[in-house]
Amino acid sequence: MKRLVILFLILLTALSQSPAYAYWIWTPKTGKWVNPKTSAKPTPKEQFEVGKGFYDAKKYEDAQREFKKLLKAFPKSVEAAESQYYLGLIEEARENLYEAFQAYQKVIDKYPFSERIPEMIEREYKIGEAFMAGHKRKALGVPLPVDNPAIEIFTKVVENSTYGPVAAAAQYKLGLVLQGLLRYYEAEEAFNKVVSNYPDSEWAAAAKYQIATCRAAVSRGPEYDQWASGDAKKKFEEFVQEHPEAVLSADAEKNIENLREKEAEASFDIARFYEKQKAFDAAKIYYNGIISDCPQSKWASKALERLQVLEKKNK
């Protein structure tokens, strides 16, 4: 037994002098060997100060490691919320914007008591704008083939603070992103929420205009949608009436003219169809409709020509 004790002491001495042992210490409080490199300080405050020190020195890898230690050891502490916030700042500094958004969202979801939440919502909104402007989501430095992350981010910004200072803008820009992806029905729904939820915001008028552009885009699809075209024209006309001085009103007027041309063309095609079927009375109704409703259209002169041809046939 005595020999075993001596051998143990010799082994302990040898280990204490080796590089490997330098990472382990005995803690009487826990009765365990611990590795200081992976163990947190005794209190969350002490541990946070270690991480913050590294962050201030821009040693982001070390700071990230220390903040994660705190989260693991003291997940319910006030310092845990702060550590998660700083993890977001680190990802932003590294230009890992999607990871920064995820880090901020964790604070909002897990630590609703954090005083940083208004600031983080603002940061999320700006990250959404960056993706909207063309920033690519990456993994290991390689762009990922995913839908624009701004959709998820702007949606979360609105959810996080439905009537907050950037909610109306986030809702409107969500619509713009969807519109840019040609997802017109979803875009229109997003713009409608701007009008209904934020009627007094600076974004409401622009949202009405974008609703009309979505309808117009649908009407210009592979198969002409006359109802969508008519509805789009109506919405553009309403926009011009409500906001005659708006910068977008000039564009709305151009869109109205384009839609009238499209409607006139569709009516002319229908009239020609009836004419070929020898349903001359029906054809005349459509030709006359073009002349009365779209007198400035190039189709009005063509409709007049066809009416003159029909008149000669009836003589």
Spatial neighbors of 253 by CB under 8 A, at least 6 apart, are 236, 240
Residue 224's pLDDT is 46
Distance, in Å, from the CA atom of 305 to the CA atom of 140, rounded to the nearest integer, reads: 66
Q: Give the tens place of pLDDT for each residue, 131-152.
A: 999 988 876 667 776 778 999 9
Whether the per-residue pLDDT at 202 is higher than 60: the answer is yes
Residue 18's pLDDT is 47
Residue 54's pLDDT is 97
Half-sphere exposure for 194 (CA within 13 Å, toward CB): 29
- Tell me the average pLDDT across 227-244: 62
Domain boundaries, the chain: 31-128, 260-315
Residue 20's pLDDT is 45
- The per-residue DSSP string of 221-238 comes to SSS--HHHHHHHHHHHHH
Q: Give the tens place of pLDDT for each residue, 11-45.
A: 555 545 544 444 555 555 555 555 566 688 899 99
- Are 150 and 132 contacting, i.e. CB atoms less than 8 angstroms apart? yes
- Are 198 and 168 contacting, i.e. CB atoms less than 8 angstroms apart? yes
Q: Give the tens place of pLDDT for each residue, 243-299.
A: 665 545 566 566 556 666 666 776 677 778 667 777 777 777 777 877 877 777 787
To which residue do tokens 């009405």 refer?
A: 208
Distance, in Å, from the CA atom of 284 to the CA atom of 165, rounded to the nearest integer, reads: 56
Q: What single letter denotes the amino acid at residue 312? A: K
- Are 209 and 252 contacting, i.e. CB atoms less than 8 angstroms apart? yes
Please determine, looking at this structure, whether the domain spanning 31-128 carries the CATH number 1.25.40.10. yes
Residue 4's pLDDT is 54
**What percentage of the chain exceeds 70 in pLDDT?**
69
Give the relative orientation of helices 117-132 and 78-93 as an angle to the nearest 10 degrees: 20
Of 229 and 123, the one with more pLDDT:
123
Give the model's confidence band at 231: pLDDT under 50 very low, under 70 low, under 90 confident, else very high: low
Nearest residue to 173 via CA among 162, 161, 158: 158
